[in-house]
Amino acid sequence: MRRLFDCVFNGSDQMYEKARKDLDAAIKKYGPDHTAMFPDTAFNCAIILEYAGIEVKTLGDLDAAMNGTIKEWMTKEERVNDVFHSGLATAMAAQVIEAVKYVDDPQPYKGEYHGHMTDAEVRELGLPLVTKDIPGFVVMIGPAPSDEEARDMIKGYQARGIFVFLIGGIIDQAKRMGISMGFKVRIVEVGPEIWSVSHVVDLVMRAAMIFGNIQPLDYWGMNTYTLDRIMAFVNAYSPVDDLTVACGGGAIALGFPVITNEQEELWKVPKSLIIQKDTRDWIDTSLEARDIKLKVTAMDIPIAFNTAFEGEIIRRSDMYLEAYGSRTDCFELVTSKDMREIEDHKITVVGPDFDKINDVLSGSGEKVYEPGGSIQLAYVAEVAGKNMQPDFEPVFERKLHSWMNCLEGVMHTGQRDQIRIRISKNAFEQGFRARHIGEVIYAKIMSEYDSVVDKCQVTIYTDPHECTKLRHELAEPIYNARDERLALLTDEAAECFYTCTLCQSFSPSHVCIVTPERLGLCGAVSWLDAKATNQLNPNGPCQIVSKDDCVDETVGIWPDVNRAVNEYSHGALEAVTLYSLFKDPMTSCGCFECICGMEPATMGVVIVNREYSGSSPLGMSFAELASMTGGGQQTPGFMGHGKHFIASKKFMRAEGGIARIVWMPSHLKEEVRAKLNKSAEELYGIENFTDMICDENIAASADDLDAMIEFLTEKGHPVFGLEAFDF
């Protein structure tokens, strides 16, 4: 077995000998004062300039570098320090060899190879590096096992925007396969021999000096800059000789991992020297090794994707199909998996595609879906990443709403299993199909959450049986688990609250204060969501609100809550309380799940949810009630809120709590029953409290007020034991 360090030390000796020989011959021929300059650069011999601090002008300067830093750095103690210095000294020696070539002939490669790169070329890289249009650089040292493989790999890197440098036999392979090369097309045929790699290292040095203002002799500054900012890596095909290993030592010193198929077990170094026998897998292996995540610039979809379409409304007459979670089993879900369980960018459609929905038959042979009608639809995005936390799942999931809406001809409302999606005839005719939902979700998750997601796959279900089955077996347990986790958190136990200003794009003065017992009124942002959003993006919509110096715990008054709403509403609001319907109630953006309104006859409140279309004992439907508030207005007596807030012990606690609830649609009662009963039992010792609440079956409109009062009286509703509202 060859020890890695021995190979580096041996290789650096070989490079030194070759450089010494070539330089001696040149000095003998031209004398030490002869000019030794690469063309079109203000940073001549940048590797030597950086590490030896010598501004090379002549062969004599090269000789000084050889006798000085280059020799001094080729130490052989068994430490990485020596390996790195030897590796960088090898690169300097390689630069001496190349510099001598340019002394003999200003165009030593005669157009056959690119060789030295000009400052203009280096500067061309600036913008695409910042925008990550060039996400990285690969130095391929070949030949590859076959011409075809060489082509596939080079093209594979090119397709991903990776800038390719070729050295050695792989250049001939690329030529034989007819690949067009040059700096402009970002495939550079550097040179035939390993020492030509110094041109690439030289480019890296100049990039750091030009873009990073790294100064000569700043060893740590340079090596930290290259490690942190220059996303380069090396692919070295077996057999790898000691000269190449020595250069690899230099590459690793700069933070550039080397991927090889050389079978030396003793060489493996995590994230630095990676042995991958399957050379066809080098692209993925390399990108992971260098932590390069590709920016997904284009989505493979037939319709436009733009925030301009977010507010687009699709009317029934324009609709090709609709999926409506309130009526049938539909859902959307983001869930995390182990890295190994996910095939990145896999999009699967289970069930008939949109153009085949008419073929779906029920058990008795009837058509399940009608054209222009409702289908069942579900989609599940599975994500994985080394920094992924389950707490982030709902955060990504809430974003689906906005992403789906950005599609031209697609409308999305609601969340979880209450989604409503409409796809326009136009979008369908342009070719929009089920898998495109997956493409959009994939592309957006990978671009917006690349700090935590490394892999993502999406499955879209149109098969009604699968939708129903998975809604109950997959989605609901996950939703419930998330809710249960939240149920254990109380406002008192929380270390802080959060703001949520996610919807300020259309409700600029609204601020939600999200607490464990009071989720955002849209129902979509729980305290955990807000916390995760804050972690993912500390400057984002969810900011920490401290709980210090509570003024009134019953009404829910905190100085920092007031400060926060004032700041984030840009002065529109002075104060909000967290637990009162009358004193500075929390504002609404307009996308609340439910609205509650004071009912003067009983001194109770009526709650109406968005899905309920009928009227209420207040004589108003959801839509009419909703118009009473919203848009960031404070309307005492009316307040938008999330469904989960109904069972909260903090629900209008200042006015006596949930005992005030006198009316809810029967559907909503069923939804909140278990939790509401539990809270009432714990708060007042009342059993089956939900049964005491009136619904549309007893009182469907303002005309039925007497029926409601009679019902409440008969049930012994606790609202009658409470004092009148104090306006």
What minimum distance in Å lies between the beta carbon of 76 and other proteins?
12
Q: Which of 79-87, 169-177, 424-432, 672-680 is the region at the interface with other proteins (rule: CB under 8 A)?
A: 79-87
Shortest spacing between CB 493 and other proteins, in angstroms: 8
**Which is closer to other proteins, CB of 78 or CB of 148?**
78
In angstroms, what is the minimal distance from the CB of 567 to other proteins? 24
Report CA torsion sign: 271, 274, 279, 281.
Answer: negative
DSSP code, position 675: H
Query: Which is nearer to other proteins, 285 or 424 (by Cβ)?
Result: 285
Q: How many residues bind other proteins (CB under 8 A)?
A: 35
Among the residues of 430-500, which ranges form H helices?
434-448, 464-470, 476-487
Specify the DSSP class assigned to residue 353. Answer: -
Q: How far apart are alpha carbons 522 and 525 in whole angstroms?
A: 7
Q: Is 456 in the site for other proteins (CB under 8 A)?
A: no
Q: Which of residues 687-726 bind other proteins (CB under 8 A)?
A: none
Report if residue 79 touches other proteins, rule: CB under 8 A.
yes
37 phi/psi in degrees, rounded to 5: -130, 135
Candidates 5, 392, 396, 651: give the one binding other proteins (CB under 8 A). Answer: 5
414: closest CA among 541, 625, 593?
593
The mark string for 261-300 relative to other proteins (x by CB under 8 A, - otherwise) is: ----xxxxxxxxxxxx-x--x--xx--xx-----------
Q: Which two tokens stand for residue 312?
A: 């687009």
x-marked contacts with other proteins along 94-133 as a string, rule CB under 8 A: ----------------------------------------
Residue in 16, 43, 84, 324 binding other proteins, rule: CB under 8 A:
84
List all residues 6 or more positions away from 121 whose beta carbon is below 8 Å from its beta carbon.
Answer: 183, 203
What's the min distance (Å) between Cβ of 270 and other proteins? 4
CA angle 553-558-559, nearest 5°? 150
- CA-to-CA distance for 146 and 73, rounded, in angstroms? 38
Sheet holding 347-350, edge to edge: 331-336, 378-384, 455-461, 347-350
Q: How many alpha carbons fall within 13 Å on the CB side of residue 328? A: 21
Q: Among 18-26, 73-81, 321-329, 441-449, which window interacts with other proteins (CB under 8 A)?
A: 73-81
Asked if 3 is part of the footprint of other proteins (rule: CB under 8 A), the reply reads: yes
Contacts of 597 (CB under 8 A, 6+ apart): 605, 606, 608, 616, 618, 620, 625, 628, 637, 638
Among 46, 253, 407, 693, which residue interacts with other proteins (rule: CB under 8 A)? 253
Residue 343 amino acid letter:
E
With respect to other proteins, which residue has the nearer C-beta, 1 or 298? 1
d(CA 327, CA 376): 9
Minimum distance of other proteins from residue 227's CB (angstroms)? 7
When the beta carbons of 273 and 467 are compared against other proteins, the nearer one is 273
Question: For residue 447, which phi and psi values (nearest 5 degrees)?
Answer: -90, -35
CB of 281 to other proteins, least distance (A): 6
Q: What is the footprint of other proteins within residues 475-534 (CB under 8 A)? A: 492-493
Yes or no: say if 410 and 400 are a contact pair by the CB < 8 Å rule. Answer: no
Query: Which residues, at least 6 apart from 727, have a Cβ–Cβ distance to it below 8 Å?
Result: 582, 636, 637
**Checking DSSP bridges between strand 420-424 and strand 410-413, what pairing results, if any?**
antiparallel
Spatial distance between the Cα atoms of 343 and 341, rounded to a whole number of angstroms: 7
Minimal distance in Å, beta carbon 396 to other proteins? 21
By CB under 8 A, residue 554 contacts other proteins:
no
In whole angstroms, the minimum distance from the beta carbon of 129 to other proteins comes to: 21
- For residue 351, give the amino acid letter: G
The count of C-alpha atoms lying within 13 angstroms of the C-alpha of 90, restricted to the half-sphere facing its C-beta, is 32
What is the rounded distance in angstroms from the CA atom of residue 228 to the CA atom of residue 311?
40
Kindly tell me which residue out of 110, 315, 316, 386 binds other proteins, with binding defined by CB under 8 A: 386
25, 127, 130, 227: which one binds other proteins (CB under 8 A): 227
Candidate segments 1-9, 10-18, 174-182, 578-586, binder of other proteins by CB under 8 A = 1-9
340 binds other proteins (CB under 8 A): yes
Q: How far is the CB of 709 from other proteins (least distance, A)?
A: 40
CB-nearer residue toward other proteins: 549 or 726: 549
Nearer Cβ to other proteins, position 463 or 491?
491
Q: Which one, of 48, 51, 50, lies nearest residue 96 by Cα?
A: 48
Verify binding: residue 78, other proteins, rule CB under 8 A. yes
By beta-carbon proximity to other proteins, the closer residue of 315 and 340 is: 340
- Provide, rounded to whole angstroms, the least separation between the CB of residue 361 and other proteins: 41
Least Å from the CB of residue 289 to other proteins:
6
Q: Quick one: 78 or 706, whose CB is closer to other proteins? A: 78
Binding range to other proteins, per CB under 8 A, among 78-86, 634-642, 646-654, 655-663: 78-86
Give the nearer residue to other proteins in terms of CB position, either 265 or 366.
Answer: 265
Type of residue at 236: A
Q: Residue 519: left (phi > 0), alpha (psi -120 to 50), or beta?
A: beta
Please give the angle made by the CA atoms of 159, 161 and 165, to the nearest 5 degrees. Answer: 100
Angle at the Cα of 671 from the Cα atoms of 476 and 376, rounded to 5 degrees? 50
Residues lying near other proteins in the complex (CB under 8 A): 1, 3-5, 78-81, 83-84, 227, 253, 265-276, 278, 281, 284-285, 288-289, 339-340, 386, 492-493
